[in-house]
Structure 1
Amino acid sequence: MPKVLGIGGVFFRAADPAALAEWYEKHLGIYDLHKSVWHQESGTTIFGPFAENTDYFGRREQAWMVNFRVDDLDGFIENLTASGIAVETRSEWDSEVGRFARIHDPEGNPIELWEPAKTQAG
């Protein structure tokens, strides 16, 4: 059975993306995606839904998308489709970094699945 390997990216809207990327690089050491890929150290990742009325991370209408690295995108697509989950793929999403597919969770939040290219999986 295919499995999620980790988080491949978190994408969000910003009024001034360049300034925000610079802030993340300066203060947290996370490179702007247009400069380099952030290489994370292995370790624990917490993934947990919050109550819909939480004020822990901002407005309810805050837009977000989680990107999960996967080891077998075709296997995921097959299993998700068999479970009645709509999966969207587009050839223009795929590139030298890998292949992508998108689904939505039960609340309509977008989720991107990414199978890194073999040279990227390193």
Structure 2
Amino acid sequence: MDREATRIRALLAHMHHADPGELHLRHQRLRGGLQATSVTRLAVRDREARGRWRVHTLVVKRLAGSAARESMVYQELLASLPAALAPRLYAADRGTAGHEVLYLEALRSVSAWPWGKLSAARGVLE
């Protein structure tokens, strides 16, 4: 198992009090991430104490070079702001030669069209 998969399993096992060996991971590559080298949605299945399956999702974002400064933004700036402003940062791993991996809260899209509420759009544009 590679370092990243081991890190993901350990992180999720800690967050959800699960056995890392019992986690089932499913990766889905996402489009976007303007400066990221890759962005992946990760669905993790495990059994809770009563034997029922549960699913947790998170986003794994790989950054390199100057784009790795995004990690600092999450850790230092957004950590002090209300949670609604950005996805929650679960963990960040600094790799070699300016590579970073961010483990972020997976957000659900409410609407594909951001200007659906004209009053909200008006407030942003004024």
- What TM-score do you get using the length of structure 2 for normalisation? 0.28
Which has the larger Rg? 2
- What TM-score do you get using the length of structure 1 for normalisation? 0.29
- Pick 1 or 2: higher relative contact order, CA cutoff 8 A, min separation 6: 1
Q: Which has the higher strand share?
A: 2
